[in-house]
Amino acid sequence: MSCVRKRPKRTTSEEQAFQEHVKKVAQENGKLLGLEGDPDLQFLLDGGELVKVRRGNWKKSRFFKLQEDCKTLWQESHKLIKRNQTFTLDDIDSVRMGRQSKGLNKHTDRSVEERCFSIIFKGRKKTLDLMAVNVTEAKQWVNGLDKIISNMHNLSPQQNSEHWIFNCMRKADKNKDNKMNLKEVKHFLKQLNIEVADTYAAEIFKECDTSNSGTLEGSEIKLFYDMLTHREEIDVIYGNYAQTEGQMSTTDLLNFLLNEQREKASMEDAVKLIERYEVDGTAKQNKRMTKDGFLMYMHQEDGSILNPAHKPVYQDMHQPLNHYFISSSHNTYLMEDQLKGPSSTEAYIKALMKSCRCVELDCWDGANGEPVIYHGHTLTSKVLFRDVIKAIKEYAFKTSEYPVILSLENHCTIEQQKLMAHYLKSILGDALVTKPLGNTMPTHFPSPEELKGRFLVKGKQLNKLNAAVNNQSTVEEGSVSDEDEAAECKQNSTKAQTKKSTIKLAKELSDTVVYCKSVHFNGFEHSKESHAFYEMSSFKETKALNLAETSATAFIHHNMDKLSRIYPAGSRTDSSNYNPVPLWNVGCQIVALNFQTPHKEMHINQGRFLPNGFCGYILKPEFQRDMSSQFNPSTLLEGPWLNKKTFHVMVISAQQLPKLNKGKHDPIVDPLVKVEIYGVPADNASKETHYINNNGFNPMWNEKFTFDINVPELAMLRLLVEDHDAASANDFIGQYCLPLTSIQNGYRHVPLLTKRGAVICSAGLFVHLMLVDAK
Query: What is the secondary structure of 308-341 as a DSSP string?
Result: GGGSS--S---S-GGGEEEEEESSTTBSS-TTTP
Q: Look at phi and psi of residue 614 and say left if phi exceeds 0, alpha if psi is from -120 to 50, else beta.
A: left
* Domain end residue (candidates: 122, 154, 186): 154
**CATH assignment of the domain containing 442:** 3.20.20.190
Q: What is the mean pLDDT of the chain?
A: 87
What span, in angstroms and rounded, lies between the C-alpha atoms of 278 and 298? 12
Residue 312 included in any domain: no
In this prediction, residues 508-528 reach a mean pLDDT of: 94
413 assigned binding-site residue: no
Q: pLDDT tens across 249-293, in order?
A: 999 999 999 999 999 999 999 999 999 999 888 999 999 999 989
360 assigned binding-site residue: yes
pLDDT at residue 4 is higher than 50:
no
* Domain end residue (candidates: 271, 303, 335): 303
Range of the domain at 616: 321-624
In this prediction, residues 590-595 reach a mean pLDDT of: 94
The dihedral over CA atoms of 341, 346, 351, 355, expressed in degrees to the nearest 10, equals: 180
Residue 440 included in any domain: yes
pLDDT at residue 73 is higher than 70:
yes
For residue 130, the cross-strand partners are: 52, 117
Could you tell me if 266 and 326 lie in one domain? Answer: no
Residue 83 included in any domain: yes
pLDDT of residue 761: 77
Residue 638 included in any domain: no
What span, in angstroms and rounded, lies between the C-alpha atoms of 710 and 697? 36
614 assigned binding-site residue: no
Could you tell me if 658 and 609 lie in one domain? Answer: no
Q: pLDDT tens across 41-63, in order?
A: 999 999 999 999 988 788 889 99
56 assigned binding-site residue: yes
Give the three-class secondary structure for 54. strand
Residue 356 included in any domain: yes
Contact 135, 112 (CB under 8 A): no
Could you tell me if 540 and 685 lie in one domain? Answer: no
Residue 349 included in any domain: yes
Q: How confident is the model at residue 180 (pLDDT cuts 50, 70, 90)?
A: confident
63 assigned binding-site residue: yes
Residue 47 included in any domain: yes
User: By C-alpha distance, which of 347, 350, 356, 377 is closest to 573?
Assistant: 377
Could you tell me if 665 and 696 lie in one domain? Answer: yes
User: DSSP code of 354?
Assistant: T
Could you tell me if 453 and 484 lie in one domain? Answer: yes
User: By C-alpha distance, which of 225, 309, 323 is closest to 533?
Assistant: 323
Terminal CA-CA length for the chain: 60
Contact 750, 764 (CB under 8 A): yes
User: By C-alpha distance, which of 414, 434, 438, 413 is closest to 424?
Assistant: 434
Could you tell me if 688 and 764 lie in one domain? Answer: yes
Could you tell me if 572 and 470 lie in one domain? Answer: yes
**CATH assignment of the domain containing 69:** 2.30.29.30
Number of domains in the chain: 5
* Domain end residue (candidates: 154, 181, 204): 154
In this prediction, residues 434-438 reach a mean pLDDT of: 91
Across 15-24, 322-331, 424-433, 640-649, least confident range: 15-24
Could you tell me if 163 and 149 lie in one domain? Answer: no
User: By C-alpha distance, which of 537, 389, 543 is closest to 458?
Assistant: 537
403 versus 761: which is more confidently predicted?
403
Q: pLDDT tens across 742-759, in order?
A: 999 999 999 999 998 888
Could you tell me if 509 and 364 lie in one domain? Answer: yes
Could you tell me if 416 and 561 lie in one domain? Answer: yes
**CATH assignment of the domain containing 754:** 2.60.40.150
Q: How confident is the model at residue 340 (pLDDT cuts 50, 70, 90)?
A: low
Of these ranges, 117-126, 151-160, 411-420, 723-732, the one predicted with the greatest mean pLDDT is 411-420
490 assigned binding-site residue: no
**CATH assignment of the domain containing 198:** 1.10.238.10
Catalytic residues: 330, 375
Could you tell me if 135 and 199 lie in one domain? Answer: no
Could you tell me if 196 and 343 lie in one domain? Answer: no
501 assigned binding-site residue: no
66 assigned binding-site residue: yes
What span, in angstroms and rounded, lies between the C-alpha atoms of 484 and 14? 71
529 assigned binding-site residue: no
